[in-house]
A = this chain, B = another copy of it.
Amino acid sequence: MKGNIVVGQSGGPTAVINSSVAGVYAQAKKLGVKKVYGMVHGIEGFLEDKLCDLDEYLADPTGIERLKRTPSAFLGSCRFKMPKIEGHEDVYEKVFEIMEKHDIECLFYCGGNDSMDTVKMLSDYAKEHGKEQRFVGVPKTIDNDLPITDHCPGYGSAAKYIATSMKEIIRDNESFGAKKPTVCIVEIMGRNAGWLTAAAALSKDADCCGPDAIFLPEVDFDIEKFMDKVRELAATKSSVVIAVSEGVHDANGTYICEMGREVAVDAFGHKQMSGTAAMLAEKVAAATGLKTRAIEFSTLQRAATHIASLTDINEAFQVGADAVKAAEAGQTAMMITLERNGDDPYQCGTGAQDIHYIANVERKVPEEWITEDGMGLNEGYEAYARPLIMGELLPLYVNGVPSHLVRKK
Q: Which residues of A contact B (CB under 8 A)?
A: 13, 40-41, 44-45, 70-73, 76-79, 160, 163-165, 167-169, 171-177, 179-180, 184, 202-203, 205, 207-208, 264, 272, 274-275, 278, 291, 293-296, 298-300, 302-307, 309, 386, 389-392, 394, 397-406
Question: Most chain-B Cβ atoms within 10 A of its Cβ — which of A168, A275, A403?
Answer: A168
Point out the residue from B169, B309, B397 that lies within 8 Å of A400, measured CB to CB. Answer: B309
Say yes or no: B404 contacts A208, CB within 8 Å.
yes
**Chain B hits for A203, CB < 8 A:** 401
Distance in Å from the Cβ of A274 to the closest Cβ of chain B? Answer: 8
Inter-subunit contact B295/A72 (CB<8 Å): no
The reply to whether B309 and A306 contact each other, CB–CB distance below 8 Å, is: no
Residue of B nearest to A9 (CB): B175
Q: Are B400 and A160 in contact (CB under 8 A)?
A: yes
CB-defined contacts of A175 to chain B, threshold 8 Å = 13, 72-73, 76-77
Number of chain copies forming the complex: 2
Q: Is B79 a contact partner of A401 (Cβ separation < 8 A)?
A: no
Q: Which B residues are in CB contact (< 8 Å) with A302?
A: 172
A-B contact pairs, 12 of them (CB 8 A): A70-B171, A72-B172, A78-B179, A168-B299, A168-B303, A168-B306, A169-B303, A205-B403, A207-B398, A207-B405, A278-B278, A391-B400
Contacts of A398 in B (CB 8 A): 205, 207
Contacts A172-B302, A278-B278, A303-B172 given; does A177 touch B401 at CB 8 Å: no
**Please, which residues of chain B bring their CB within 8 A of the CB of A298?**
293, 295
CB distance from A292 to the nearest CB of B (A): 9
A75's nearest neighbour on chain B, judged by CB, is B175
- Which B residue's beta carbon lies closest to that of A66? B207
Cβ contact within 8 Å between B404 and A207: yes
Tell me the nearest residue of chain B to A292, going by C-beta: B264
Q: Which of B167, B176, B264 contacts A401 (CB 8 A)?
A: B167
Q: Which of A79, A168, A180, A401 has most B Cβ within 10 Å?
A: A401
How many angstroms between the C-alpha atoms of A296 and B389 in the bound complex?
Answer: 25
Q: Are B400 and A71 in contact (CB under 8 A)?
A: no
User: B299 touching A173 by the CB < 8 A rule?
Assistant: yes
Given contacts A71-B168, A202-B400, A392-B397, is CB(A176)–CB(B300) below 8 Å? Answer: no
Give the distance in Å from the alpha carbon of A307 to the alpha carbon of B274 in the complex. 26
CB nearest neighbor in B for A182? B299
Q: A304 contacts which of B13, B168, B264, B274 (Cβ < 8 Å)? A: B168
Interface centre among A70, A78, A300, A302 (most CB of B within 10 A): A300
Residue of B with least CB distance to A173: B299
